[in-house]
């Protein structure tokens, strides 16, 4: 059986990205590898089995292109509205709260999106139904 252990994204400013993920999602560096040309920083928190690997290629000055294949990373929280407000109070700019409902009006998902400093989309879902 396979187990998801991490997903990797490339970042332009490692310190700025570490601060964002620490403040926004309480992710801390669990493992770091520094090499002359690049650094790998693995982030996690007590709730996560998988990690986000931030790859910083030293000396790169131009932003990375996300193309049309990248979708988003998703995090699950107890109260999406309260989490969105917390991010606003930190000076971040999450998108508006949204909901999915089925034909009978039953709530399927409550969520919002935010972008990290490199423009990666992140979905924040309230724990409910499938999203636990």
User: Residue 19 sits in a domain of what CATH number?
Assistant: 3.10.180.10
| Same domain? 41 vs 98 | no
The total of structural domains in the chain comes to 2
| Same domain? 6 vs 37 | yes
Q: Please state the rounded mean pLDDT for residues 30-42.
A: 96
Provide the pLDDT for residue 1. 82
Provide the pLDDT for residue 4. 85
- On the question of pLDDT at 125 being above 90, the answer is yes
SS (H, E, C) 11-61: ECCHHHHHHHHHHHHCCEEEEEEECCCEEEEEEECCCCCCEEEEEEECCCC
| Same domain? 89 vs 42 | no
Provide the pLDDT for residue 70. 85
- Could you list the residue range(s) of the whole structural domain that residue 101 is in? 71-132
Segment 40-58, tens digit of pLDDT:
999 999 998 899 999 999 9
Share of the chain above pLDDT 70, in %: 99
Q: Measure the CA–CA gap between 75 and 67, rounded to whole angstroms.
A: 22
Of 43, 64, 85, the one marking the end of a domain is 64
Question: Any idea which residues carry the catalytic annotation?
Answer: 123
| Phi, psi of 20, rounded to the nearest 5 degrees | -60, -55
């Amino acid at each position: 059986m396979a187990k998801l252990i991490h997903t990797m994204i490339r970042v332009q400013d490692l310190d700025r990205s570490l601060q964002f993920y620490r403040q926004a999602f309480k992710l801390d560096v669990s493992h770091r590898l520094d090499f002359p040309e690049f650094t790998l920083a693995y982030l996690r928190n007590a709730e996560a089995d998988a990690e986000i690997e931030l790859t910083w290629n030293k000396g790169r000055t131009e932003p990375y292109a996300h193309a049309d294949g990248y979708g988003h990373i998703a995090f699950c929280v107890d109260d999406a509205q309260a989490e969105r407000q917390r991010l606003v109070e930190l000076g971040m700019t999450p998108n508006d709260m949204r909901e999915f409902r089925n034909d009978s009006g039953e709530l399927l998902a409550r969520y919002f999106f935010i972008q990290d400093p490199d423009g990666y989309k992140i979905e924040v879902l309230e724990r409910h139904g499938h999203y636990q």
